[in-house]
Structure 1
């Protein structure tokens, strides 16, 4: 089956395989079919491949390799972090989070509330940022966990995790960070940032789908109850036979982004600003998030005087087609406009007529210029149709 041709600007949803990832996975599949938990020689070969991947991923976040717990992706990692802390704490634990978190976090928080937890959801300002004073006021004596997304999946807005971590450390509260969108894009040091738990996903950085990880701080140890019982693998945190080839692919992706991150993010920043300069020539195009506090790969815009569904359909089905997402990606199935943008003060109509461009390794100036031209033409066409109606 041939993949339809489109200008791919949806790297926040998933990134193409990074160089070396396919080869690492192929090598892991061919090298040994043994179970990495087996004590014989072939099993030790598989285990060594997993250990190498753990070292590569741990180096990317400033952690010890033994603190890495492999999961199926960031969603499972978030479930393990939030439910695991709440269950270990017992009673009716208090958790503090943010209204603009990914659904993977928000839905778990709702589930925890139904099972006795007390949850405080903090708002954000017009630029999508959490107020530290509000966080400090929300932390109580029974607060078991603070959970904050590092880079927002819709807007790319960056939360000040170092400051949040310092506040949590001073209050003796564990901090969980959703790093699905920041891993490989921003510098992360779990020790310096006082992060107790960090959720990660391979396919966001050019690794394979279906594999993720949770960093679990060892000193001081985080109280965490396992959510999958079975053979007791990974110190009992997450039972099940490990997928050696997927983990090897994650490790290879971590090596690649570690070597290229600084140069690549500077390049993407320049391309993003090039795209914005062209899109901003249209009146009524609003940028969501400040450029200096938004990850370089992201440009989220709300467009006035157009219908959101028509805009997204026109861009993704026109010629050339753009592989982009709506700012309401997490809410579209429920027929709602983006809760993230509404929390930032956008009207429901503006939140509904929003587009997320997310750039990556295969984005160049030619792609940016073609996408900008296509965006301007489509907005102009839709506005002309609306005016004639």
Structure 2
């Protein structure tokens, strides 16, 4: 007899395809998969499918469709935003945050080695930056600010409207990593004074391998291209566009916009239910308060257990829980969470942390089963430790 399916609580890593995404992709593959740069009728049909997807994604962030640059994902979008802005300006001073995704942190390291000045702001115990410290850093001849909207490990939300206002007041462009906030938090690039916005499809139920970068058009923001070739997308990102993936991104954006107002409160209630059950376990500490955490996220540290043993027990036990310890990129590098360490957690607390991220298929039964399985595994590991 096969083991029961895992309880999937890792939507921050990848969300399963949303309704309508697969069919939207197949329609392009089956009938509009010509090169969208071609002038003939099949090419125009392919371009029309891409234009429709651009309208759907643009509506989700309050942007004009022509302000989007299609990329392979948020990582490429972040690279284009940071390297492009610095390259166009010929250097400068970039202000960011120590808890950013590695796509940002590693890119900043590369830029710094090339002579760009980089300031990395710390965070408080809740994972939020100090706005006065940010303003002081901006005042120190900053040329670009880059801040993640929703943290990929903890779900902590940075105050992007306030950050955008500070940047606008000093005339400094703001880049926002919206990989985890797209479709979950309200985003209005104009109202929030966002100049550059990085996005990824597979976090909102779209296909993997496709993302986008919003680039402000007024006042126009200069970027140095990072991929050269045929001059597509205004020369900012050359290469033939993957129409079927873009169509899937557009369908996912349409679905996210349609369900967000009802879905995010539902997920917040389920998240709080899970948090309440886990908090009843002795030695479980929540990382990030609910007031400043996006609805699908819950990150906890567990005292008295080894982090690797806990994750293995949860992901390999019955029922298995598809959860994460920190971010997938940190896990691949064998590191404890630098995000939690920056929030003041000890290396042991950061190492014995679990991230739950909920999604469309999550219901009360899944939450309760996950809580029971978690409590069972913690008790088992503590019993083994006390017997050793």
Do both proteins adopt the same fold according to a TM-score greater than 0.5, normalized to the shorter chain?
yes
1:188 aligns to 2:187 (yes or no): yes
- Matched residues in 2 for 1:79 and 1:27: separation? 31
SS at match of 1:19: coil
Where do residues 1-389 of structure 1 align in structure 2 (5 Å cutoff)? Answer: 5-90=5-90, 92-140=91-139, 142-327=141-326, 329-389=328-388
CA distances 1:183-218 after superposition (whole Å, capped 9, x unpaired) = 000000000000000000000000000000000000
- Matched residues in 2 for 1:76 and 1:233: separation? 16
SS at match of 2:124: coil
- Matched residues in 1 for 2:143 and 2:76: separation? 20
- Matched residues in 2 for 1:9 and 1:232: separation? 41
- Contact 1:101–1:149 under 8 Å retained in 2: yes
CA distances 1:320-378 after superposition (whole Å, capped 9, x unpaired) = 00000002643334432110000001000000000000000010111101000000000
Of stretches 133-142 and 335-344 in structure 1, the one that deviates more from structure 2 is 133-142
- Contact 1:329–1:338 under 8 Å retained in 2: no
- Contact 1:98–1:148 under 8 Å retained in 2: yes
- Contact 2:336–2:350 under 8 Å retained in 1: yes
1:4/1:73 CA distance change after superposition, 3 Å: farther
Q: TM-score, normalised by structure 1?
A: 0.98
The CA deviation at 1:262 is: 1.1
Aligned residues: 387
- Contact 2:3–2:318 under 8 Å retained in 1: no
Give unmatched runs, 5+ long, in structure 1.
none
Of stretches 55-64 and 134-143 in structure 1, the one that deviates more from structure 2 is 134-143
- Contact 2:297–2:357 under 8 Å retained in 1: yes
CA distances 1:36-71 after superposition (whole Å, capped 9, x unpaired) = 001111111000000000000000000000001000
Q: TM-score, normalised by structure 2?
A: 0.98
CA distances 1:297-320 after superposition (whole Å, capped 9, x unpaired) = 000000011100000000000000
Question: How well do the aligned residues superpose, as a CA RMSD in angstroms?
Answer: 1.2
- Matched residues in 1 for 2:59 and 2:150: separation? 20
The CA deviation at 1:155 is: 0.2
- Contact 1:85–1:223 under 8 Å retained in 2: yes
- Contact 2:32–2:49 under 8 Å retained in 1: no
- Contact 2:4–2:318 under 8 Å retained in 1: no
- Contact 1:19–1:256 under 8 Å retained in 2: yes
SS at match of 1:143: coil
CA distances 1:138-172 after superposition (whole Å, capped 9, x unpaired) = 11453211000000000000000000000000011
- Contact 2:152–2:327 under 8 Å retained in 1: no
- Contact 2:84–2:223 under 8 Å retained in 1: yes
- Contact 2:296–2:359 under 8 Å retained in 1: yes
- Matched residues in 2 for 1:30 and 1:328: separation? 36
The CA deviation at 1:4 is: 8.0
The CA deviation at 1:388 is: 1.2
- Contact 1:328–1:336 under 8 Å retained in 2: no
- Contact 1:328–1:352 under 8 Å retained in 2: no
- Contact 1:178–1:200 under 8 Å retained in 2: yes
- Contact 2:13–2:328 under 8 Å retained in 1: no
CA distances 1:242-279 after superposition (whole Å, capped 9, x unpaired) = 00100000000000000000100010001001111111
- Contact 2:21–2:252 under 8 Å retained in 1: yes
- Contact 2:178–2:197 under 8 Å retained in 1: yes
- Matched residues in 1 for 2:200 and 2:298: separation? 21
SS at match of 1:176: strand
